[in-house]
A and B are shown apart, each in its own frame.
Chain A
């Protein structure tokens, strides 16, 4: 084969312009981890869906920041800071205090030919915010490489060169109060007190290098409990370098005297690094002959059902699908299978359907595909074999097939003939773990890492005994729980730091779980045993979730006792038993937004509610936030009443392109309090069930044909 023949054609273009495949380079990120100059914000926004993680350091302040551009205009930020603070009397510096903060920014005006982008923002807006600032900022590009920013700031951003507040009704700003309740909206502070101007320039020399100049309005004035950071001059200069599009490194000379460095790392949920995936091609549809299509029955003696089950078991196994049961009539084949490989159940169904065209007699015209998880059939999707044959590789095939498919609850279990004689199964594995916990009111952050041995034995597909034993590599101080300073509120979470710190292997969980489907749209779970690190007992759950509905309702009732802190089998150390449970409503709002509301009684006996909102991308990336508020009072129990956090999940196949059902995920909490604490029980029903329901299937239906 002579490649030279094609030299003439190698100059041909295959260009996609500003279509869905285009990737934008994110704007410059500041040391505070948001689009900005060095410490001051800009009005520019990142591309929608951008997640940016930033680590930055200047003397006295280390920050780890997660910034997320939720919509084209709205972004949110969560920040952990390790900061040096003046003490109550400004007489000395307390080093390395852990702080958390949240920012919000909204772009009011998009940049036009003559109009700058204008944004309004709140930095560290929850109490007690040591960096609490508000700002209005404008940014304008001049040519391709230069942007100019000017703004007005309040709070910390109004401390250098401040002047009387132009909003005369908010002339005075309440003094920072160290004892303010944690995590309340500090709205009496917002846009109050002196204001000050800030601004700067960002010049991109080329795609990789840029320079920054900033006039800052943050003075870092010494004050009781204020950050001990020196900032003699308002002028700062920096250099940015992007070794790759997804990485920004910054080096800065701040305030004329301090050096600072930062690194930002970007991921855009809309731009999958693995493109549309690297999985191997499916077996094509085996189209029937015209005569085979005409048949209305098949010869069961020549092609016995048992042989078809065996053949389909073998062929589905090639695709990582486990056939569990099958029911056949003259014209239909209903197959139930477990998807162990594909993130998208729609893709699993597409692969299963293609294999069925290889195996099933010509008379079989209807394929009924039922995905099973935890022993329960999750849904049934009915497709016509002639549709598969007619639509394969045709434009619009996915939309047409989806429109023609029928979605319903999974069919009768009893009518299925099992594909396997013996469903008992044992599995085990050892893996490393890493966990970051923000325990208790004192806000200490502790890391844990080690090895975890997990094993499970499946008595039947619905009944599973599972256990996990962990050995920490870093926690062996064997501290005993301290006397409870708030005896009226059980230490259901704040004592977590004393659990499993004896340096020996501990039993994380040992539980027997039964899953069931008591009715068409009803799903159930019962778990008994050592359910999690701190509690054991019984947990029951019932979920109502019709396949074609975006709405689900759940009820959970648990009776648990607090385990001993040595994480053995005992419950005597705390002698604490409680009944906890919630009513939950789940709703898929559409456009990638999902919400969940839980009402009920939490582990410490407090009553309240949790609201959760998630932005879920069809490719599986999920970024959510939740808040819990219960009747536990701040006055009595400190930072206990109010829990909040950020949940991030990124499917492994998003990054690797290899088909896989696992996620990389974490929950970032500001702190783990005793109020609003829920049982950490494994395998809650909604996430298991919705995965094969119509709305979720439609999200990834484009993969049916892949």
Chain B
């Protein structure tokens, strides 16, 4: 975060073209720098439960299950319908309608993915879709995997977090492709927004549990 903080501080001081007009500059600089120019400590973000609950749309909590790590993430930027979230140290997660389409900073990142078909199937209450997911292999080559996925609705399953319970409906996405099989679970609130998910990144990075506040 010191890196990003420094970047934003540099931009704030030196007129960085469009940077100040776009989402990243204002939002993250405000969050990280508190309006000042000093970079925050390069550690996890100190976000209280109250912060999480009282700023909807601002924070994401991610459990990197294989590393037994919990991270609080803030928006680092958006590109079209996709938003990239960054934690206090080194990881970014990019999602589209809550579906993870990329990660960076994990031992085996998801380099890129499509999510539109899955999202449409969820909105339709289920269906079969095909998705491509790219990984970076040990030879620095992109390893593309085409997955056949079945999305089914699993009915109502309220989400409880921070002593509060939210109504939600649960969807399961089972995918398989060459040498790869995975299952994602999504929880959507009544207005159709994803509030929790358990999503596969890659064989070496495992699953992320994501709570969107």
B183 to A315, Cβ gap below 8 A?
A: no
Distance A272 CA – B135 CA, assembled complex (angstroms): 14
Distance A601 CA – B19 CA, assembled complex (angstroms): 58
Say yes or no: is B6 at the interface (Cβ < 8 Å to chain A).
yes
Chain A residues, CB < 8 A from B78: 287
Say yes or no: is A499 at the interface (Cβ < 8 Å to chain B).
no
Say yes or no: is A423 at the interface (Cβ < 8 Å to chain B).
no
Chain B residues, CB < 8 A from A281: 86, 90-92, 103-105
Distance A310 CA – B11 CA, assembled complex (angstroms): 10
Please choose the segment from A6-14, A97-105, A513-521, A623-631 that sits at the chain B interface, where 4 or more of its residues have CB less than 8 A away. A6-14
Distance A175 CA – B131 CA, assembled complex (angstroms): 68
B179 to A393, Cβ gap below 8 A?
A: no
Say yes or no: is B126 at the interface (Cβ < 8 Å to chain A).
no
Distance A504 CA – B183 CA, assembled complex (angstroms): 66
Chain B residues, CB < 8 A from A292: 18, 21
Chain A residues, CB < 8 A from B79: 284-285, 287, 389, 392-393
B108 to chain A, nearest CB (A): 5
CB nearest neighbor in A for B66: A14
A197 to chain B, nearest CB (A): 41
Option from B7, B84, B114 in Cβ contact (under 8 Å) with A395? B114
Distance A307 CA – B19 CA, assembled complex (angstroms): 13
A6 to B200, Cβ gap below 8 A?
A: no
Residue tally, chain B, CB below 8 Å to A: 77
Option from A280, A361, A706 in Cβ contact (under 8 Å) with B111? A706
CB nearest neighbor in A for B105: A281
A276 to B138, Cβ gap below 8 A?
A: yes
B181 to A20, Cβ gap below 8 A?
A: no
B16 to A705, Cβ gap below 8 A?
A: no
Q: What is the count of residue pairs linking A and B with beta-carbon distances less than 8 angstroms?
A: 228
A358 to B107, Cβ gap below 8 A?
A: no
Interface membership of chain B positions 171-187, coded 1 if the CB is closer than 8 angstroms to chain A and 0 otherwise = 00000001111110100
Interface membership of chain A positions 277-297, coded 1 if the CB is closer than 8 angstroms to chain B and 0 otherwise = 111111111111100100000
CB nearest neighbor in A for B187: A5
Chain A residues, CB < 8 A from B19: 286, 358-359
Q: A1-B70, A283-B3 are in contact. Are A275 and B17 (CB under 8 A)?
A: no
A286 to B15, Cβ gap below 8 A?
A: no
Please choose the segment from B30-38, B117-125, B204-212 that sits at the chain A interface, where 4 or more of its residues have CB less than 8 A away. B204-212
Say yes or no: is A17 at the interface (Cβ < 8 Å to chain B).
yes
Distance A512 CA – B46 CA, assembled complex (angstroms): 52
B3 to A361, Cβ gap below 8 A?
A: no
A359 to B136, Cβ gap below 8 A?
A: no
Say yes or no: is A362 at the interface (Cβ < 8 Å to chain B).
yes
Within 8 A of A (CB), among B68-124: 70, 76-80, 82, 84, 86, 89-92, 94, 101-105, 107-109, 111-114
A393 to B203, Cβ gap below 8 A?
A: no
Chain B residues, CB < 8 A from A285: 77, 79
**Chain B interface secondary structure, helix, strand, loop or mixed?**
strand
Say yes or no: is A399 at the interface (Cβ < 8 Å to chain B).
yes
Say yes or no: is A663 at the interface (Cβ < 8 Å to chain B).
no
CB nearest neighbor in A for B8: A358
CB nearest neighbor in A for B107: A275
Option from A9, A16, A310, A706 in Cβ contact (under 8 Å) with B179? A16
Say yes or no: is A414 at the interface (Cβ < 8 Å to chain B).
no
Please choose the segment from A182-190, A537-545, A553-561, A695-703 that sits at the chain B interface, where 4 or more of its residues have CB less than 8 A away. A695-703
Distance A705 CA – B103 CA, assembled complex (angstroms): 11
Distance A392 CA – B159 CA, assembled complex (angstroms): 32
Q: A21-B108, A298-B17, A396-B144 are in contact. List 17 more A-B contacts (CB 8 A).
A: A1-B211, A5-B160, A6-B198, A13-B181, A14-B202, A14-B206, A16-B203, A21-B137, A277-B107, A279-B90, A280-B3, A284-B84, A304-B15, A311-B14, A360-B18, A393-B111, A706-B111
Say yes or no: is A397 at the interface (Cβ < 8 Å to chain B).
yes
Say yes or no: is B4 at the interface (Cβ < 8 Å to chain A).
yes
Q: A286-B18, A358-B11 are in contact. Are A702 and B142 (CB under 8 A)?
A: yes
19 contacts between A and B (CB under 8 A): A2-B161, A5-B160, A19-B179, A21-B108, A21-B179, A21-B203, A281-B104, A281-B105, A282-B92, A285-B79, A344-B140, A393-B94, A397-B111, A398-B111, A700-B140, A701-B140, A702-B111, A702-B140, A702-B142
Chain A residues, CB < 8 A from B185: 9
A487 to chain B, nearest CB (A): 52
A622 to chain B, nearest CB (A): 13
Count chain A CB atoms within 10 A of each CB in B3, B65, B90, B108 and give the residue with the most: B3
Option from B22, B86, B108 in Cβ contact (under 8 Å) with A276? B108
Chain B residues, CB < 8 A from A323: none
Which residues of chain A have a CB within 8 Å of any CB of chain B? 1-3, 5-6, 9-10, 12-22, 270-272, 274-289, 292, 298, 302-304, 307-308, 310-311, 314-315, 318-319, 344, 355, 358-362, 364, 389, 392-399, 617-619, 657, 699-703, 705-706
CB nearest neighbor in A for B200: A14
Distance A303 CA – B16 CA, assembled complex (angstroms): 7
B138 to A619, Cβ gap below 8 A?
A: yes
Say yes or no: is B53 at the interface (Cβ < 8 Å to chain A).
no
Within 8 A of A (CB), among B128-167: 132-144, 159-162
Chain B residues, CB < 8 A from A706: 104, 109, 111, 136
Chain A residues, CB < 8 A from B204: 21, 275-276
B139 to A358, Cβ gap below 8 A?
A: no
Say yes or no: is B44 at the interface (Cβ < 8 Å to chain A).
no
Q: A9-B185, A318-B3, A359-B11 are in contact. Are A286 and B22 (CB under 8 A)?
A: yes
Chain B residues, CB < 8 A from A307: 14-15
A663 to chain B, nearest CB (A): 16
Option from A1, A12, A361 in Cβ contact (under 8 Å) with B161? A1
Distance A6 CA – B157 CA, assembled complex (angstroms): 12
Q: A15-B180, A279-B105 are in contact. Are A270 and B139 (CB under 8 A)?
A: yes
Distance A15 CA – B207 CA, assembled complex (angstroms): 12
Option from A10, A284, A617 in Cβ contact (under 8 Å) with B94? A284
Counting from the closest, the 10 A-B pairs by CB-CB distance are A19-B179, A281-B104, A280-B90, A393-B102, A281-B105, A314-B10, A17-B179, A361-B17, A272-B138, A281-B92
B16 to A359, Cβ gap below 8 A?
A: yes
B178 to chain A, nearest CB (A): 6
